[in-house]
Structure 1
Amino acid sequence: MRPSEMLKDSCSLEWQAATNHVFCQELTLGSLSLDKMRIYLAQDYTFIDNFVRLAASAIHHAPTLADRLPLAAFLGIIAGPENTYFQRSFDSLNVSKEEQETPSLLAPTAGFQALMLKAAQSGSYANMVAVLTVAEWVYLSWTQNTDRIDSPLPFYFQEWINLHEGEYFESVVEHLRTQLDRAYDAADGAEKATIADYFKQAVTLEKQFFDACYDI
Structure 2
Amino acid sequence: MRPSEDLKQSCINNWSAATTHPFCIELANGSLPLEKMKRYLAQDYTFIDNFVRLAASAIHHAPSLPDRLPLAHFLGIIAGPENTYFQRSFDMLNVPKSEQTSPELLTPTSDFQALMLKAAKSGEYGNMVAVLCVAEWVYLSWAEPMVDAVEALPFYFGEWITLHAGEYFESVVEHLRSQLDTAYNKADASQQETIKEYFQQAVLLEKQFFDACYA
TM-score category of the 2 structures, normalised to the smaller one? over 0.9
The answer to whether residue 184 in structure 2 is matched with residue 184 in structure 1 is yes
The answer to whether residue 55 in structure 2 is matched with residue 55 in structure 1 is yes
Q: Which residue of 1 aligns with 2:164?
A: 164
Q: Which residue of 1 aligns with 2:135?
A: 135
Describe the SS at the equivalent of 2:27. Answer: helix
Aligned sequence identity (%): 73
Instruction: Name the CA distance, whole Å, in 1 between partners of 2:12 and 2:178.
Output: 20
- Runs of 4+ aligned structure 1 residues displaced above 3 Å come to 145-151
Q: Which residue of 2 aligns with 1:112?
A: 112
Instruction: Name the CA distance, whole Å, in 2 between partners of 1:148 and 1:174.
Output: 22
Deviations 1:160-214 (A, max 9, x none): 0010000000000000000000000000000000000000000000000000000
Instruction: Give the Å deviation of 1:2.
Output: 0.1
Instruction: Give the Å deviation of 1:150.
Output: 7.5
Q: Which residue of 2 aligns with 1:66?
A: 66
Deviations 1:3-26 (A, max 9, x none): 000000000000000000000000
Taking structure 1 as the reference length, what is the TM-score of the superposition? 0.98
Instruction: Name the CA distance, whole Å, in 2 between partners of 1:116 and 1:62.
Output: 16
Instruction: Name the CA distance, whole Å, in 2 between partners of 1:212 and 1:53.
Output: 24
Instruction: Name the CA distance, whole Å, in 1 between partners of 2:207 and 2:2.
Output: 23
Instruction: Name the CA distance, whole Å, in 2 between partners of 1:165 and 1:148.
Output: 11
Instruction: Give the Å deviation of 1:43.
Output: 0.1
Instruction: Give the Å deviation of 1:149.
Output: 3.8
Q: Which residue of 2 aligns with 1:75?
A: 75
Deviations 1:55-90 (A, max 9, x none): 000000000000000000000000000000000000
Deviations 1:127-181 (A, max 9, x none): 0000000000000000134585486210000110010000000000000000000
* Aligned-residue CA RMSD (Å): 1.1
Instruction: Name the CA distance, whole Å, in 2 between partners of 1:110 and 1:67.
Output: 29
2:85 partner letter: Y
Consecutive unaligned residues in structure 2, runs of 5 or more: none
Instruction: Name the CA distance, whole Å, in 2 between partners of 1:176 and 1:151.
Output: 29
Q: Which residue of 2 aligns with 1:41?
A: 41
Describe the SS at the equivalent of 2:152. Answer: coil
Instruction: Give the Å deviation of 1:51.
Output: 0.1
Q: Which residue of 2 aligns with 1:144?
A: 144
Per the alignment, do residues 193 and 28 of structure 1 end up closer, same or farther by CA in structure 2, a change over 3 Å counting? same
Instruction: Name the CA distance, whole Å, in 1 between partners of 2:148 and 2:194.
Output: 38
Q: Is the 8 A contact 1:54 1:116 kept in 2?
A: yes
Instruction: Name the CA distance, whole Å, in 2 between partners of 1:151 and 1:2.
Output: 35
Q: Which residue of 2 aligns with 1:124?
A: 124
